[in-house]
């Protein structure tokens, strides 16, 4: 059973709520595979604003020719294709592109069996906790509190907000106001999106620690392993990283160095389900919680298969593919009262609209 056909097409999906002024849409590269037994599968690659066309070119010009005629088992095919692309980079655009084929192959196998990807991979739980999230550093304080209020009204008992204002005092004021609105029993996570250096991160986290954050996400440049390890020695708040780590090797380095107390792999950015499962095994080996990054319609399905701890799924306000009208079929998951469950569907249940939505 081999890869008989593979194609990819680029879509631009407008966001209902801009992620700051320069991110008003996301790039989706919808993929379609046909195996030699005639079974079809659908997947995707994804990137906000930057790099979508480059990912599409990698899929069409480098991945497709290398995949045709080869074994269609995703766990067999992933490593040879990664080595094939390695000259263009061990991670980043190459792994983002590889996800487009990997997801389609997993989808095809689940569809062949007439089941969901969750059941193919091994369902471990009936539901998973979800948290409200937003790209909101540019929001005024009133806009931020209104967003947090919407999450509370929707039943979330955990939320995440952005930090990293030029003036630390403004971060303190915003986090204090959010904590007051949430009360003491809601989990509050903060995300700096790589905005600080080591000394600024140390000062900031020590100041913001007064509001009991569950974690500080990406306090430093994701490339700087040594500074993350040093920061972990300086602060008491758990450090969460992973959305900008692209290989299992990199996650292993962070875990071995004690530089991450929580890992957040983005399933597309690491190259799909195949490497995500390897990263999950590493997290379990080190006893570190894993909470998949973004894309709840995909991440939620994978979270339902995790056996280590209690994973959480990120639900960015007004950014789900179903809510954005990007899917042919109904969303494969539902989020209500801070809880994600999957709905009846075949495969991944993520087939994208056939024309550009922009």
Token pair in block for residue 277: 């499962």
Q: What share of the chain is helix, strand, coil (3-state, %, to 5)?
A: 40, 20, 40
Beta bridge partners of 13: 26
User: Is residue 293 annotated as a catalytic residue, yes or no?
Assistant: yes
CB-count burial class (<10 Å; 0-12, 13-18, 19+) for 224: middle
CB-side exposure of 194: number of CA atoms within 13 Å?
10
Task: Compute φ and ψ for 339, nearest 5 degrees.
Answer: -140, 135
Under 8 Å CB-to-CB from 24, ≥6 apart: which residues?
A: 14, 15, 18, 49
| Active-site choice (32, 160, 228, 293) | 293
Establish whether 162 is a catalytic residue. Answer: yes
Active-site residue, from 162, 246, 291, 345: 162
Question: Measured between alpha carbons, how far is 247 from 288 in angstroms, rounded to an integer?
Answer: 17
37: tokens are 């037994």
Buried-exposed string 28-56: b where 16+ CB fall within 10 A, e elsewhere: bbbbbbbbeeebbbbbbbbbbeebbebbb
Task: Give the chain's largest Cα–Cα span.
Answer: 62
User: Could you tell me the sign of the dihedral formed by the alpha carbons of 184, 187, 193, 197, in that order?
Assistant: positive
Name the pairing type of β-strands 312-316 and 187-191: unpaired
What is the rounded radius of gyration, in angstroms, for the C-alpha atoms of the chain? 20
Six-digit token string for 142: 């009133």
CB 48 within 8 A of CB 19: yes
User: What is the DSSP track for 155-211?
Assistant: T-SEEEEE---SSHHHHHHHHHHHHHHH-TTSEEEEE-TT---HHHHHHHHHHHGGG
Angstrom CA distances, 284 to 86, 217, 255, 272, 312, stand at: 27, 20, 11, 19, 15
Residues with active-site annotation: 162, 293
């Amino acid at each position: 059973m081999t890869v008989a056909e593979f194609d990819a097409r680029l879509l631009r999906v407008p966001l209902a709520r801009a992620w700051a002024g320069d991110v008003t849409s996301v790039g989706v590269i919808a993929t379609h595979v046909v195996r030699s037994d005639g079974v079809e599968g659908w997947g995707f690659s994804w990137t906000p604003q930057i790099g979508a066309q480059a990912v599409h070119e990698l899929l069409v010009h480098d991945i497709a020719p290398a995949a045709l005629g080869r074994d269609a088992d995703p766990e067999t095919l992933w490593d040879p294709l990664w080595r094939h692309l390695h000259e263009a980079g061990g991670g980043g655009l190459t792994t983002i592109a590889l996800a487009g084929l990997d997801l389609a192959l997993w989808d095809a196998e689940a569809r062949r069996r007439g089941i969901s990807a969750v059941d193919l991979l091994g369902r471990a739980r009936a539901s998973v906790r979800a948290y409200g999230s937003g790209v909101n550093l540019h929001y005024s304080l009133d806009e931020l509190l209104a967003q947090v209020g919407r999450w509370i009204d929707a039943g979330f008992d955990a939320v995440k907000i952005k930090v990293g204002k030029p003036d630390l005092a403004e971060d303190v004021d915003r986090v204090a106001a959010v904590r007051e609105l949430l009360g003491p029993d809601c989990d509050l996570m903060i995300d700096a999106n790589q905005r600080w250096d080591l000394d600024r991160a140390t000062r900031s986290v020590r100041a913001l620690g007064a509001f009991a954050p569950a974690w500080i996400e990406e306090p430093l440049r994701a490339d700087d392993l040594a500074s993350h390890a040093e920061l972990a020695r300086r602060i008491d708040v758990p450090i969460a990283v992973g959305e900008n780590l692209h290989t299992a090797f990199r996650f292993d380095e962070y875990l071995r160095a004690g530089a991450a107390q929580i890992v957040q792999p983005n399933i597309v950015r690491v190259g799909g389900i195949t490497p995500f499962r390897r990263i999950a095994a590493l997290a379990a080996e080190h006893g570190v919680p894993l909470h998949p990054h973004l894309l709840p319609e995909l991440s939620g399905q994978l979270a339902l298969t995790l056996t280590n701890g209690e994973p959480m799924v990120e639900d960015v306000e007004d950014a789900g593919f179903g809510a954005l009208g990007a899917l042919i079929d109904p969303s494969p998951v539902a989020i209500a009262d801070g809880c994600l469950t999957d709905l009846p569907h075949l495969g991944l249940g993520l087939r994208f609209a056939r024309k550009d939505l922009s």
